[in-house]
Amino acid sequence: MSEELIIEHCSPTLAGMKSGSMFSVKTSKDMDIYEEVRDLNKALRKKGLRVIPLRKTDEFALIYIYRPKHLEKDLKDPRALRILKKKGYETQNPECCIAQLVRHIRSDEAFPHEIGLFLGYPPSDVESFIKHPCTGVKCCGYWKAYSNPEKAQKKFVRFRKCTEAYHEMNKRGKSLAQLAVYTD
């Protein structure tokens, strides 16, 4: 996995601005995605980050980078809890929810749209996307915003600036571990 790919898709999470990010990476026969994930975890764990493969096929792997403490806070939101319970999740702890998300991704025919809750998207937007994915969208960026487009647009700008800054710092020699910040 290239640092550039991770920076492109995960900078706001590395910077502590959102609870999680996900990206897809092409795999090959000589690539051990699990070893790469272990190496990333070693490098990022002390910064409060975790990395897990959500799904792996012969062609690609879907990788999730997240901040457990941020995710725990996000998933305590009453609206997020309601969505997860409606989707059949046991919501006693975030790790249990992640395990259930992995099962859904690997076994369900349809992609689990509640994944937005694991990526730090507003529960109101996740709920609207689940109910009516094509109607009521007020703006698009890192997600489809239905409820507060001004706030979403501000976040989209912050996330883009963060990604640009992280790319620039990486070009100047900063590693992922150096770019990742520690947050509680």
User: What's the confidence (pLDDT) of residue 155?
Assistant: 96
Distance in angstroms (rounded) separating the CA atoms of residues 168 and 96: 37
Helix (H, G, I), strand (E, B) or coil at 162: helix
Distance in angstroms (rounded) separating the CA atoms of residues 71 and 161: 23
**180 part of a folded domain:** no
Q: Which domain holds residue 69?
A: 3-171
User: What's the confidence (pLDDT) of residue 73?
Assistant: 95
How does DSSP assign 71-114, residue by residue? Answer: HHHHHTSHHHHHHHHHTT---S-HHHHHHHHHHHHHH-SS--TT
Q: pTM to 2 decimals?
A: 0.93
**51 part of a folded domain:** yes
**183 part of a folded domain:** no
Q: What is the pLDDT of residues 19-53, one digit of tens each?
A: 999 999 998 887 789 999 999 999 999 999 999 99
**164 part of a folded domain:** yes
User: What's the confidence (pLDDT) of residue 166?
Assistant: 98
**184 part of a folded domain:** no
**178 part of a folded domain:** no
Along the 184 residues of the chain, how does pLDDT read in single tens digits?
A: 899 999 999 999 999 999 999 999 998 887 789 999 999 999 999 999 999 999 998 899 999 999 999 999 999 999 999 999 999 999 989 999 999 999 999 988 888 999 999 999 999 999 999 998 889 999 999 999 999 999 999 999 999 999 999 999 999 999 999 999 998 7
Q: How many distinct structural domains can be found in the chain?
A: 1
**104 part of a folded domain:** yes
**177 part of a folded domain:** no
The percent of residues in the chain predicted with pLDDT above 90, rounded, is: 86
